[in-house]
């Protein structure tokens, strides 16, 4: 009984109980989301071995316990050392279609936060903590929506896969692994903080690590060295003065222009040594229809010309690739999601987003999908991340109705 769980906590045993009242409450949402926030799952990047708060293992085990206690067929598939996807399958009626609800399990870093990241705090209807908005609020809503329908009937009208993937924040390894060997699903709802809007198109992201090579020398006689930072200055100027203005010439009818940013710069080892290296990390936002090969070739063309004219060497490594995503507004999955939102919320909003998500990978794998979830991207990754708890409850009601309705329309 979900309402009794609000009084006694969201333990596995409590969530097994059934009641005539199956609608999740604010207390249900608070209890489950607080539990998720208090379970650290910071994306470790290339850090290994993993120690708290890094890695998704703790959240994976929490999810495994919940989903198994609800009768799900649960598998945990390792994607990276110590990092896994969790997949819970709940079978529907014969000849049933399959709907996937997916929300990633990792969060961004806690560095610079002004609140306790893993001590959830409720204040004026807002729940604070790392991952509250991106994306544990959505994960909690999906779980509550699924449990609502399970409490109504143990035989679902459609087969449901509740999936939580690792590594969304820094590379999409979990989504790629799932898409490469995952189950055959007919549609997917990808969880992101969309303010309860249906997102049907997003930009992608291509990220490079570029290094210029110089020659170290004593700073008392810099003429004996070759300053890699000076070489990089020419490249950064080229990006700012040539490449970024050129992006204004490209446009998408829904998403506007692509974008490019130099987000990280590192160089040298000591103030009295001529630096023999300088490194930048570049973020290029990608429109549907653009390819990583063409974008990289364009990027290399101008930088190669600078390096040749000045006379220095450089290396370029692709660091991350997030495919862009576009699901036509008239497609069945978009129309289905809009109808459910209208029925449950009394309104439906179709929108696009400038950020990237797992949806690009799933779409490339042939899975029709949209993005939907509680919370705002404006609170994601912030120093005092929070979510409106009322939105979590509303999203849970939408997910529940999607599960009820999916079998009827497919």
Residue 301 to residue 233: CA distance in whole angstroms:
17
pTM across the whole model: 0.91
pLDDT at 21: 39
Q: Which residues of the chain have pLDDT under 70?
A: 1-22, 95, 408-410
* Domain 2-202+324-409 CATH superfamily: Zn peptidases (3.40.630.10)
Structure tokens at 373: 């979830």
pLDDT at 45: 93
Q: Which long-range contacts (CB under 8 A, 24 or more apart) does 258-264 make?
A: 258/203, 258/284, 258/285, 258/286, 258/287, 258/290, 259/203, 259/283, 259/284, 259/285, 259/354, 260/284, 260/285, 262/236
pLDDT at 349: 98
For the chain, what are the domain ranges? 2-202+324-409, 204-322
* DSSP character string of 198-241: EEEEE-EEEEEEEEEE-B--BTTSGGGSB-HHHHHHHHHHHIII
- β pairing state of 198-202 and 350-353: parallel
Structure tokens at 220: 């008392």
Torsion sign across C-alpha atoms 329, 331, 337, 339: positive
pLDDT at 4: 27
Q: Which fold has domain 204-322?
A: Alpha-Beta Plaits (3.30.70)
pLDDT at 6: 29
| pLDDT tens for each residue of 244-270 | 999 999 999 999 999 999 999 999 999
pLDDT at 408: 66
pLDDT at 293: 97
pLDDT at 1: 24
pLDDT at 155: 82
């Amino acid at each position: 009984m979900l309402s009794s769980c609000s009084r006694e906590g969201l333990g596995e045993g409590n969530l097994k109980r059934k009641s005539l009242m199956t609608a999740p409450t604010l207390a249900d949402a608070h209890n489950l989301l607080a539990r998720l926030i208090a379970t650290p799952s910071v994306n470790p990047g290339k850090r290994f071995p993993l120690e708290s708060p890094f890695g998704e293992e703790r959240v994976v085990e929490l999810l495994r316990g919940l989903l198994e206690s609800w009768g799900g067929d649960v598998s945990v598939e390792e994607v990276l050392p110590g990092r896994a996807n969790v997949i819970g399958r709940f079978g529907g009626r014969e000849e049933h279609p399959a709907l996937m609800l997916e929300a990633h399990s990792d969060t961004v870093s806690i560095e610079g936060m002004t609140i306790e990241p893993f001590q959830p705090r409720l204040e004026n209807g807002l729940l604070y903590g790392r991952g509250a908005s991106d994306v544990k609020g959505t994960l909690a809503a999906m779980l509550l929506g699924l449990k609502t329908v399970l409490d109504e009937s143990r035989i679902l009208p459609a087969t449901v896969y509740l999936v939580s993937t690792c590594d969304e924040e820094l590379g999409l390894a979990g989504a790629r692994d799932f898409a490469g060997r995952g189950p055959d699903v007919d549609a997917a709802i990808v969880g992101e903080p969309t303010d309860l809007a249906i997102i049907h198109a997003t930009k992608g992201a291509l990220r490079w690590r570029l290094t210029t090579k110089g020659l170290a020398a004593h700073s008392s006689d810099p003429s004996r060295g070759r300053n890699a930072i000076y070489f990089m200055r020419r490249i950064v100027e080229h990006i700012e003065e040539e490449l970024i203005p050129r992006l204004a010439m490209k446009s998408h009818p829904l998403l506007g222009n692509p974008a490019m940013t130099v987000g990280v710069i590192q160089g040298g080892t000591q103030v009295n040594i001529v630096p023999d290296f300088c490194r930048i990390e570049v973020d290029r936002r990608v429109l549907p229809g653009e390819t990583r090969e063409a974008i990289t070739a364009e990027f290399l063309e101008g930088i190669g010309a600078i390096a040749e004219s000045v006379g220095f060497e450089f290396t370029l490594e692709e660091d991350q690739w997030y495919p862009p995503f576009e699901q036509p507004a008239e497609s069945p999955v978009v129309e289905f999601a809009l109808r459910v939102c209208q029925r449950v919320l009394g309104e439906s909003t179709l929108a696009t987003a400038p950020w990237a998500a797992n949806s690009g990978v799933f779409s490339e794998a042939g899975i029709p999908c949209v993005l939907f979830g509680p919370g705002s991207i404006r609170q994601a990754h912030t120093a005092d991340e929070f979510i409106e708890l009322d939105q979590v409850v509303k999203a849970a009601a939408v997910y529940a109705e999607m599960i009820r309705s999916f079998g009827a329309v497919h």
